[in-house]
Amino acid sequence: MVLKKITGRIYDIQGFSVHDGPGIRTTIFLKGCPLHCPWCHSPESQAFKKELCWMEIKCVGLEKCGLCLDKCPKDALSPGKKKISDVTKEEMQLVTINRSLCDDCGACTEVCYSKALYLCGTDYTVEEVMERLMKDAPFFEKSGGGVTVSGGEALSQPEFTIELLRECRNKGLHTALDTTGYVNYDVIKEVLPYTDLFLYDLKHMDSETHKKAAGVPNERIHENARKIAKDGGKLQVRIPVIPGFNDSKENIDAARKLCAELGDAVETVQVLPYHRLGSTKYQRLQREDPMPDCKRPSDEAIDVIVARLKSYGLNVNVH
């Protein structure tokens, strides 16, 4: 009965994930994050609330549908721009959303048969998620994989995340927690017994620079990493490489220094080159991409960073 009462707000459940910990994994993505990194590839993860998204490519046009216009109780939907259909090659008129009127109620999604309009964020009980996870258990067993709880910041929904990881442990599943580390350590300490591996980001080593970009300083993040290591936790340190932001020799060396301080708690360091995959998600939310001109770092630049980290004896890989 307890499991049925605890719910978490999830925006995706991704099976066959191979980059969020060892082996084949199923990753649970929770909504809500205290950081607002401009390079975030999942902007739909930042807000805890359910959010209306619109995929232009799926919209069939008002001429063939238009049911959403009358369904919206706030009159937030209206005829928008026209374009030539990629399928029929005919001119079609799309819908547009007035975000100042929209309250993300989702009424329009109920009549959008093409699923161009959809709500991002679904409330699940721990029991419902466990039913989904156990279907993938054979893949975990054969590959040495397991379950990764991610976000957003999964520890922003602490009760749900702790109970979910506890149930995974009870079922004998390997567990990983992808966290920003920006949370009260009492929460981390409570989840520590049920977490086999922490996926832990180091975004920038200078606190003021970190705060300007992500909205929060980094002292708590670094101190929590030290506490996890001291309390016997294992870490996969992840360094997202953002050109012109944190790819300098000085910043990489500072990250290396902290990894060395954490000692054997660091199982591996994962270098994550910036990519543009999140740009379409900003479009779905009708939000401006905060980094429209940023490009993926070159392979040569990544090789230099990897070599520098490896020269200090760290186990490094690139995602």
CB 40 within 8 Å of CB 46: yes
Helix (H) or strand (E) holding 27: strand 25-30
What was the pLDDT predicted at 5?
Answer: 83
Task: Over range 162-181, report the average pLDDT.
Answer: 98
Q: Give yes or no: residues 178 and 275 share one domain.
A: yes
| Helix, strand, coil share of the chain (percent; to 5) | 35, 25, 40
Model pTM score: 0.94
Q: Give yes or no: residues 224 and 292 share one domain.
A: yes
pLDDT digits (tens, 9 = 90+) for 173-227: 999 999 999 999 999 999 999 999 999 999 999 999 999 999 999 999 999 999 9
> CATH no. for residue 132?
3.20.20.70
Q: Give yes or no: residues 206 and 264 share one domain.
A: yes
* Residue finishing a domain among 98, 120, 142: 120
CA triple 301-307-311, angle to 5 deg: 150
Q: Which domain holds residue 56?
A: 51-120
Q: Give yes or no: residues 166 and 228 share one domain.
A: yes
* Residue finishing a domain among 81, 103, 120: 120
Query: Is a pLDDT exceeding 50 seen at residue 141?
Result: yes
* Residue finishing a domain among 100, 120, 140: 120
Q: Give yes or no: residues 10 and 90 share one domain.
A: no
CB 313 within 8 Å of CB 249: no
Q: Give yes or no: residues 59 and 134 share one domain.
A: no
Query: Is a pLDDT exceeding 90 seen at residue 319?
Result: no
Q: Give yes or no: residues 116 and 144 share one domain.
A: no
Strands 122-125 and 146-150 come out as unpaired
CB 290 within 8 Å of CB 214: no
Q: Give yes or no: residues 106 and 128 share one domain.
A: no
Q: Give yes or no: residues 103 and 210 share one domain.
A: no
Count structural domains, the chain: 2
Q: Give yes or no: residues 252 and 175 share one domain.
A: yes
Query: Is a pLDDT exceeding 60 seen at residue 1?
Result: no
Bridge partners, residue 237, by sequence: 200, 269
Query: Is a pLDDT exceeding 60 seen at residue 2?
Result: no
CB 32 within 8 Å of CB 152: yes
Q: Give yes or no: residues 147 and 283 share one domain.
A: yes
> CATH no. for residue 116?
3.30.70.20
Q: Give yes or no: residues 126 and 142 share one domain.
A: yes
